[in-house]
Amino acid sequence: MQTTLEILTHPLLAPLRHGFFTRKGGASSGLFAGLNCGRGSSDQADAVAVNRARVAEAMRVAPDRLATVHQTHSARVLTLRPGDDPAAACRTEADAIVTATPGIAIAVLTADCQPVLLADAGAGVIGAAHAGWKGAVDGILDATVAAMRALGADRIRAVIGPCISQRAYEVGDEFMDRFLAEDAENDRFFAGGPHGRPMFDLPGFGRHRLRALGVEADWTGHCTYSDAERFFSYRRSTHQGQADYGRLISAIAL
């Protein structure tokens, strides 16, 4: 069983400990082969616990100091303060976590949606957001940045991790219409696809929203759909008729 984790990092978030973990190096098997960290999947709970413990070790925290939330594609943010129990965060419905408390690793789970890690290293404030198309258009990134600024951040940098890319993200006209109704200039994030349907640039939209908030932002450039060896993908599993799918984890710590 391969146990070597593959952890993608980005210079924008240096020197803070952070990583966009691929599926490599986990204890799960079958559809979830590798590092599936999704407690909500139908994977064996013991395997998920082992995987999350490996992530915690890589982030240099105890397993109960690796905080994730119950993600619902919302614009809600959880702020973890000194004295809060990171292990209890999983009972909170939210799609982002921010903190200025050292010794906690905060993380989000994704399988095509954008995992966004944010930091103001100088101010000692970090954030992690799960930003699918719905969360992004509804303001999860705006809310995360606002929550970080409430903790004292003023020079925030953000990196979008592996997510579905435009070349793999075919959507319907009604999907595009929702974005155009908000801002006609959002048409820049759509292109014609091979089947006559729009193709949506999710990371391009996310990066645009972050930069509009005054945040220096980048994308790692990895497409979850197109690289089955390294990434889980909800859309790919659906296209292949699979019953479930694994969840990738992305984490950052002070």
Q: 222-239, pLDDT tens digit by residue?
A: 999 999 999 999 999 999
Per-residue confidence (pLDDT) for residue 194, from 0 to 100: 87
Is 239:228 a contact under the CB 8 Å cutoff? no
Supply the range of the domain harboring residue 33: 7-165+201-253
1: pLDDT strictly greater than 60 = no
Average pLDDT rounded to a whole number, residues 165-183: 95
Q: Looking at residues 158-165, what average pLDDT do you find? A: 98
Give yes or no for residue 3 having a pLDDT over 90: no
Q: Would the pLDDT of 167 be above 90?
A: yes
- List the CATH number of the domain containing 53: 3.60.140.10
Question: 197 falls in which pLDDT band (50, 70, 90)?
Answer: very high
Which residue from 170, 133, 162, 132 is spatially nearest to 223, judged by alpha carbons?
Answer: 162
Looking at the predicted structure, is the pLDDT value of residue 114 above 70? yes
Task: Render pLDDT for 115-131 as a digit per residue (tens, 0 to 9).
Answer: 999 999 999 999 999 99
The answer to whether the CB of 231 falls within 8 A of the CB of 222 is yes
| Amino acid sitting at position 14 | A
Residue 190 lies in a domain: no
Whole-number Å distance between alpha carbons of 120 and 151: 10
For residue 173, is it within any domain? no
Number of domains in the chain: 1
- Residue 15 resides in a domain: yes
Query: How many angstroms separate the CA atoms of 55 and 60, rounded?
Result: 9
Residue 89 DSSP one-character state: G
- Given a cut of 90, whether residue 2 has pLDDT beyond it is no
**DSSP at 243:** S
Provide the pLDDT for residue 193: 86
pLDDT band at 195 (very low <50, low <70, confident <90, very high): confident
In a domain, 107, yes or no: yes
Q: Is residue 171 part of a domain?
A: no
> How large is the average pLDDT for residues 177-183?
94
Q: Is residue 185 part of a domain?
A: no
Question: At residue 111, does pLDDT exceed 80?
Answer: yes
Structure confidence by residue, pLDDT tens digits, 34-64: 999 999 999 999 999 999 999 999 999 999 9
Mean pLDDT in the chain?
Answer: 96
105 lies in some domain: yes
pLDDT at 72: 97
Residue 177 within any structural domain of the chain? no
